[in-house]
């Protein structure tokens, strides 16, 4: 095997968020495909041993596969910058904007992108103003059905569809178990797709959209990470016009939010072929059931080669 000229690569996986186990699986997959591509890889968790280890044996570049919490809010990337380690992915400032879903929606809306009407409600407001009065007004304003999810985090933890007004209080309680602010969106009926964007140095490019068809109708945690619970179509079964619209929206969101290297935008395409922005992920899952690897395969791209290309771009930037 010919070894890569990238040098020593550090894959960060694990962390202490609710998505720890998914992150470990993502990190394992990235390490495997990089080793197969001839890259010298070390995998580490983000615990008290990380900084001393980096200082004693500095890696040439890092690949962050941390999901939720510090992995996507920019904190770990800030530490990597303090340590002088180049890394794949968005800057800390861009991560903070993208990680907060209401903020990200506001930014992409300012760029003219469609996104469902919504309201963000902190737990304190929910309690202080009276849950019944506030929730009644939300239903009146946005209509039904609704989709409730934490304003931060991923993997559909704490997220649920609300079809009747009576279901909304329980959905809010479930949401607040995973975060202090709930994002309540108007639920758009349509085809759920994910569009991954990669930039190897020549500008952001959308991979083929992946269509998501969960067995139970909801792409929840079990549907995401249990093999066989969801059917995927890569590329998505969309018209050519809708496919182009989804790709354009994902690239526009990537650009509007100031992201770099890699991202995944989640969309809903309604019956007319019109896409709606839902959220963006700055550290897309890389597990066996994750969407970016499926998109890469649909594009005829080897995942290891793609990851290696992202590392090479980060190394060039670091120099």
Q: Which of 285, 290, 304, 309 is catalytic?
A: 285
User: Which of the residues 20, 279, 290, 309 is marked catalytic?
Assistant: 279
Rounded-to-10 torsion of CA 309, 94, 68, 223 = -70
Q: Beta strands of 24-99 (E only): which ranges? A: 40-44, 61-64, 87-88
Active-site residue, 279 included = yes
CA distance 132 to 221: 29
276 noted as active-site residue: no
The neighbour count for residue 96, using CB atoms within 10 Å, is 18
**Before 315, cis peptide (omega within 30)?**
no
Give the SS3 label for residue 12: strand
155 is catalytic: yes
Residue with tokens 């990537």: 254
Active site residue 312: no
> Considering 18, 187, 219, 225, which one is annotated as catalytic?
225
Rg (CA), the chain: 20
Task: Let me know if 281 is a catalytic residue.
Answer: yes
- Distance CA(226)–CA(162), nearest Å, equals 23
Query: Which residues are bridge partners to 268 per DSSP?
Result: 192, 276
Q: Are 170 and 177 in contact (CB under 8 A)?
A: no
Decide if 285 is catalytic. Answer: yes
Q: Looking at 118, 155, 160, 290, which residue is catalytic?
A: 155
Give bridge partners of residue 230 from the DSSP assignment: 214
Active-site residue, from 266, 290, 304, 309 = 266
Residue 258's region, left for phi above 0, alpha for psi from -120 to 50, else beta, is: left
Tell me, yes or no, if 19 is annotated catalytic. Answer: yes
Helix orientation angle between 20-36 and 303-318, rounded to the nearest 10 degrees: 90
Catalytic-labelled residue, pool 4, 14, 19, 263: 19
Q: Which of 69, 264, 276, 290 is catalytic?
A: 264
Catalytic position from the list 118, 151, 281, 290: 281
* Residue 264 designated active-site: yes
Assess contact for 314 and 199: CB atoms under 8 A: no
Find out whether 114 and 267 touch, Cβ atoms under 8 Å.
Answer: no
The answer to whether 83 touches 57, Cβ cutoff 8 Å, is no
Which residues carry out catalysis? 19, 155, 225, 264, 266, 279, 281, 285
């Amino acid at each position: 095997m010919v070894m890569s000229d990238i040098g020593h690569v550090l894959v960060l996986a694990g962390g202490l968020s609710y998505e720890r186990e998914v992150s470990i699986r993502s990190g394992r997959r990235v390490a495997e495909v990089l080793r197969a591509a001839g890259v010298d890889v070390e995998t580490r968790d983000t615990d008290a041993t990380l900084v001393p280890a980096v200082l004693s044996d500095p890696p040439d570049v890092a690949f962050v596969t941390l999901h939720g919490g510090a992995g996507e809010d920019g904190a770990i990337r800030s530490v990597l910058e303090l340590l002088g380690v180049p890394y794949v992915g968005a800057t800390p400032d861009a991560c903070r904007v993208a990680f907060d879903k209401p903020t990200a929606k506001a930014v992409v809306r300012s760029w003219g992108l469609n996104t469902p009407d919504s309201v963000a409600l902190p737990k304190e407001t929910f309690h202080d103003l009276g849950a019944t009065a506030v929730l009644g007004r939300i239903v009146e304003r946005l209509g039904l059905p609704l989709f409730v999810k934490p304003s931060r985090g991923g993997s559909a933890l704490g997220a649920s569809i609300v079809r009747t007004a009576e279901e909304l209080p329980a959905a809010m309680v479930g949401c607040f178990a995973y975060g202090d602010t709930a994002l309540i969106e108007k639920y758009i009926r349509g085809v759920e797709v994910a569009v991954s964007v990669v930039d190897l140095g020549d500008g952001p490019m959308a991979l083929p959209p992946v269509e998501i068809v969960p067995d139970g109708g909801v792409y929840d945690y079990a549907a995401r990470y249990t093999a066989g619970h969801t059917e995927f179509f890569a590329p998505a079964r969309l018209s050519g016009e809708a496919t182009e619209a989804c790709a354009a929206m994902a690239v526009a969101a990537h650009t509007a939010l100031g992201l770099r290297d890699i991202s995944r935008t989640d969309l809903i395409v309604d019956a007319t072929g019109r896409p709606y922005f839902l959220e963006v992920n700055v550290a897309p899952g890389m597990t066996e059931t994750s969407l970016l690897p499926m998109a890469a395969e649909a594009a005829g791209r080897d995942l290891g080669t793609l990851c290696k290309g992202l590392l090479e771009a980060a190394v060039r930037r670091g120099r």
